[in-house]
Structure 1
Amino acid sequence: MALESLNPATGELLETFNEMSSEEVQTIIEDVHTAYLDWRTTSFAQRKTLMLKAAEVLRQRADTFATMMAQEMGKPLVEGRAEVEKCAVVCEYYANGAEQMLAPEVLESDAGKSYVAFRSQGIILAVMPWNFPFWQVFRFAAPALMAGNVGVLKHASNVPRCALAIEKVFVDAGFPADVFRTLMIGSAKVNAVIEHPYVVATTLTGSDIAGRKVAEKSGAMLKKTVMELGGSDPFIVLEDADLDDAAAMGTKGRCLNSGQSCIAAKRFIVVDAVYDAFVEKFTAHMAALTMGDPCDESTQIGPQAREDLMMELHGQVQASVAAGASVLLGGEPAGKAAFYPPTILANVAKGMPAYSEEFFGPVAIVIRVKDAEEALFVANDTEFGLGGSVWTQDVAKGEQLAAQVRAGAVFVNGIVKSDPRLPFGGVGISGFGRELSHYGIKEFVNIQTVWIK
C-alpha cells in the first residue's frame, strides 16, 4: 500500500510514500518504549525547555506548514497559519502548567501521610484525522509528553507530509530520539499497534465509525481510550438575539476549515419570530464567501479534502432534497476538483439526512421552531453531543438554556471552539474522555494513591 499526498484543489499527485512494514512498525514501537524508560525520569524543567522550543520551531515554520496544509488537504492559508499558532500556544500552555497540574494532592485518611500522585504510563497511540492535521496532533502530544509519556502517531493517510513534518518539529526542538514517532501506515495495521504490550492507551479523533473500531479493539485489550468523534452542533437563535452578530458568527462557525470540522455550527435552530430575518442575513453572509485556491491569500473557502468526501456530502444534500428539503443557496458541486460551495438547506424535518446526520462540509441546515422549548427539543434530538451554542441578549436566559443542551461544550453568544485552558470532548456518539485543560493531561496518567503509616 502507498500513502498518497494529493492536492484536492487540482487533483495533482504531490508525492507517494511507502507504507511501513509490520516489522518496521514493531521496531519503532520498541525504540519508543526504550526512549520512554529515560524520558519518564526527566524533570518538568527539562521537558518545559524542550516543549517551549517546539513552540518556537512551529512559529518559525508557520508559512511552510500553512502551505503544506493548503496543498495536502485544502486549508486556506490564513487558517493554516492560525492553526500552527494554536499549536504553539498549546505547547506553551502545557510547558508552563504541567508541573502544577500534576503536583501531588495531599488527602486526609487514616494514614500518617496520604496523597495522590500522577505517574506516566508509556506509549500513547494517537489516531488522528486530516481536517486539522497539526492541531489535533499537538493537543494530544503536548500534554502527553509533558506528563512523561511518549507517543506514536497514526495520521490520516491523505496527509503524510504533515505527519512527517510534525515528527521533525520534535526532533528539531531537541527532544530525545524516539520520544515521538510517526507510523506511516494505513488503517489495516492499527489493530496490531493497539495489541502491542508496550502501547498502553489510545486516543482517536475522527468519525464515530472509526471510533467504534478503535474503542472495540482497545477495550478487548483493556487499554484506556479517549474518543473525540463527530458532531452536529445546534446553533439556537432566540427572538431577542443580535441577528447581525449571530448571522456573521454563524457563517464563520459553519464554514471554518471549509466546513470540515467536528466542532462546528451545523444545525441552525431559529425561533419563528426571527426566522425570516435571520435566514436573510445568514444567506447574504454565506453567499459573500470567496471560494478558490487555498494558496491564494484571499480565499475563504477551499476545496473539500478529497473528491470522494465532496461527493459523499453532495449525496447527503441530494437525499435531503429528495425527502423535501429546500436549497436556499448552493447545493451543487462547483464543477472542478473537490470544491463544494457554501450551501443552505431549509424545510428540514425529522427523517432526512440533514436532520440526523453529520454534514462534514460547508452545508448549513436551518430549522424553524415555535419557541425556546421546541428549540431545545430539536437541539437534543440527536445522537451527537459535541458542542452547541445559544444566541440571546438575555445572558441569564442563555445560560439557563445552555445547561439543558446535551453536549460537551455550550457557548452563549459565541461559536464553539477549542481552547487549551478549557476541557474539550463530547457525549453520546461524539465520544468520551476529555482533551485540553488540566483534565486532558490526566487522562493518560496513573492516578496513584500513596498511603504511609
Structure 2
Amino acid sequence: MGYSKTHFKSINPYTEETVYEIPMHTLQEAREILENAQEAFDNTWEDTSYEQRAKLLNDVAKEMKDNLDYYALPMTEEMGKPINEARGEVNKAAWAAEHYASFGEDYLKTEYLESDASESYVQYLPIGVTLGILPWNAPFWLAFRYLAPAVMSGNACVMKHDSHTPLCAVRIVEAFQKAGAPKNLVQNLVVGHESLESVIRNPIIKGVSLTGSSKAGASVGAIAGSEIKPVVLELGGSDPAIVLADADDLEKAADTIVLSRYINAGQSCIAAKRIIVEEPIYEKFIELLKERFEKLKLGDPKDETTTIGPIARKELVEEMHNQVDRSVQAGARLILGGKRHEGQGFFFPVTMLADVEPGMVVSCQETFGPIAAIIKVKDEKEAIKVANDTEYGLGGSIWTGDVEKGKKLAGKIITGQVSVNGIVKSDPRLPSGGVKKSGLGKELGPQGIKMFVNTQQVWVGPVKN
C-alpha cells in the first residue's frame, strides 16, 4: 500500500513492517511549494554563477558520501535493495552531482555561429521551475539523474517521488539542505497521481521529467504536451542481450548477463530481459547461466552477503508469477525457479525460462524481477529481428568476437543505447534514453543537461558587409 488519501506510507518488503509515514500535501500546499520554488529561482538561483552551482553539487555529493548509510538504509528498508547495492547507488548519485559540477559549464558554454550578423551565438539559459516525477526502484540515482543537470543549468526543482519511498525523498532534500542550498531550491512534493495534472498545468512548472511506466509516460506526456511544456520520459524496457556463436568469452558474457538481470532483484528498466542466443551455443549457454543463477543468495537486504533482496511489493510478486505461469503454459521450458516463496518477505525466486517464443508473456511484456527469458535463434539476422520485435526500445547488448560486426549490428537494434561486449548501464558521462514506448528525450551526458534550457539564438547587428 503506497498511500491512503492522506498519507504516503512505506512498508519494508522483508519485515512487512511500516518504515515511514508522511502526510500528503493539499492542493493549496502544493501550489505554495511551486510558488516557493519560483521565488527561489527568481531571487537566488537564476543569477548564480556556474561556480556557485558547482559548489552546491559538490557539497551535496560530499554530504552523501560522508554519511553513506544514513542515505543508503532508507532504500534497503523501503524497497528492499541489498545494502551493498544501496551504498553503491548513493555513491553513483553523488557521482552524477560531481560530474555536472565539473562539466556542466562546458556542456552549456555559449556557441558562436557565423551568419550575416556582426556576431551571432547560441546561449543556454535556465527555464525556471522543473518537476521530476520519480519511481521507487532506484530512488537516489534516478532523482539525481534529474536533479544534478537541472540544478547545474540554473533551474529550481520540485521532486514528486514515489509513494512507496517517502523517506528516501525526505533524505534527498535533506542532503541539499545540509549542503547549504538556497531555501526551497529543491523541494519534495507529496501528492498522489490524481493531483499531478493540476501541478503539471500550473504555469510555474516549465518542464517535466518522468521516469516510470509507459502508461504513466503517455499520461504525463499528454498533459505536458497540451500545455506545450518540454518533457523527458524515461520509460519501460524489454532489453535484448544477443549472444552470437562467435562470442570470444562465453563465461564473461554469462557473468555479465546474469549480473544485468539480477541487480536490484531484476527491478530495473535496463536489465537484460530477453537473452537471445544463436543456435550452435544455445544449450551450452543455458548451462553457463544456470550455474551462475543457482549461486545467487536471496535474503535479508541488510545482510552484506545477500545478492538478491525482496521484491518491493507483494502485488508485484503475484504479477511475475502470473507472467511465468502463463509462459510455461504456452510452452516455455522452466530451467530454474518459478515456485512461490514460503515464509517472510516478498521474494521472487531466481527463474530461468528457455525455449521462449516471441508471443509469450515473458517475451512481450516487461518483467520487473529476477526472470531470465532465453530465446533460440538460427543466425544474427533472426537475432536482430527478435530483438526489435517489442514495443520497447531502451537498451540492448551484443556479444561477438568480431567488434566491427558488433558495431555494425548495434545500428540495426532499435534502442536508445547498445553495449557491445559489455553491460548496459547508465553513466553520468553518456546520454541515456529510449525510443518507441521506452520514452523520449535524453538524460545524462552533454545531451541531458540541454533538455530543460532555453536554447536562445542571439543576433547582434549591424549586418556584416
**TM-score bin, normalised by smaller chain:** over 0.9
Hey, what's the Cα distance between the residues in 1 that align with 2:259 and 2:98? 27
- The amino acid of 1:411's aligned partner reads S
Paired residues for 1:304-315 under 5 Å: 304-315=311-322
1:54 matched to 2:60: yes
Select 2:146's aligned residue among 129, 140, 148.
140
Q: Which residue of 1 aligns with 2:117?
A: 111
Please name the residue that 1:411 is paired with.
419
The equivalent residue for 1:250 is 257
Structure 2 residue corresponding to 1:31, chosen from 36, 46, 57: 36
Aligned partner of 2:213 in structure 1 is 207
SS of residue paired to 1:279: helix
The equivalent residue for 2:181 is 175
Taking the aligned partners of 1:359 and 1:39, their CA distance within structure 2 comes to: 41
Aligned to 2:93: 87
2:358–2:389 Cα contact (<8 Å) kept: no
Residue 16 of structure 2 corresponds to residue 11 of structure 1: yes
Matching of residue 328 in structure 1 with residue 297 in structure 2: no
**Residues of 2 paired with 1:48 and 1:349: CA distance?**
50
Could you list the per-position Cα deviations for residues 226-281 of structure 1 after superposition, in whole angstroms to 9, with x for gaps in the alignment?
A: 00000000000001211111111111000011100001101000000000110001
- Give the drift of 1:15: 2.4
Deviation at 1:34, TM superposition (A): 0.4
Note the C-alpha offset of 1:209.
0.7
Q: Identity of aligned pairs, percent?
A: 47
The structural deviation recorded for 1:180 is 0.5
> Which whole-Å CA distance do the structure 1 matches of 2:293 and 2:319 have between them?
21
* Whole-Å separation in 2 of the counterparts to 1:17 and 1:180: 18
Q: Does residue 362 of structure 2 align to residue 357 of structure 1?
A: no
Q: Which residue of 2 aligns with 1:379?
A: 387
For 1:442 and 1:402, the matched residues in 2 are separated by: 25
Number of matched residues? 453
What CA deviation, in whole Å up to 9, does each residue of 1:44-80 have, x standing for no partner?
A: 1111111110010110121122221111000001111
Structure 2 CA distance, aligned partners of 1:226 and 1:68?
27
Q: In the alignment, residue 26 of structure 1 is paired with which amino acid?
A: R
Match of 2:301 among 270, 278, 294: 294
Residue 312 of structure 2 corresponds to residue 271 of structure 1: no
Q: Is the 8 A contact 2:392 2:435 kept in 1?
A: yes
Moved >6 Å (runs of 4+): none
Superposed CA deviations along residues 62-114 of structure 1, whole A, max 9, x for unmatched, are 11222211110000011111101111111111011111111110000111110
* Structure-2 separation of matches of 1:182 and 1:424: 25
**CA distance in 1: counterparts of 2:236 and 2:21, whole angstroms:** 29
- Matched residue SS, 2:300: coil
**1:221 alignment partner, one of 210, 227, 237:** 227
In 2, the alpha carbon distance for the partners of 1:15 and 1:44 equals 36
Secondary structure of the structure 2 residue equivalent to 1:96: helix
In structure 2, what is the equivalent of residue 152 of structure 1? Answer: 158
Question: Hey, what does 2:128 align to over in structure 1?
Answer: 122
1:14: Cα distance to partner?
A: 1.9
Q: Report the RMSD for the aligned CA atoms in angstroms.
A: 0.8
1:435 to 2:440 alignment = no
1:335, distance to aligned residue in structure 2 (A)? 2.1
5+ residue gaps, structure 2: none
Q: Which residue of 2 aligns with 1:402?
A: 410
Deviation per CA, 1:126-165: give whole Å up to 9, x if none.
Answer: 0000000000000110110010001101111000000110
Contact 2:398 2:421 in 1 (8 A): yes
List per-residue Cα deviations over 1:288-343 (Å, max 9, x = no partner).
10000100000000001111111111111111112221211101232233100111
Which residue identity is paired with 1:232? Answer: S
- Residue aligned with 1:321, SS: helix
Please tell me the residue identity of whatever aligns with 1:310: V
Q: Check if 1:303 corresponds to 2:316.
A: no
2:351 is aligned to: 343
- 1:72-83 matches, within 5 Å, as 72-83=78-89
Distance 2:313 2:66 in 1: 29
TM-aligned CA deviation for residue 350 of structure 1: 2.5
Distance, in Å, in 1 between the alignment partners of 2:73 and 2:127 is 36
Which secondary structure does the structure 1 equivalent of 2:237 belong to? coil
Query: 2-side partners of 1:157 and 1:96: how far apart?
Result: 33
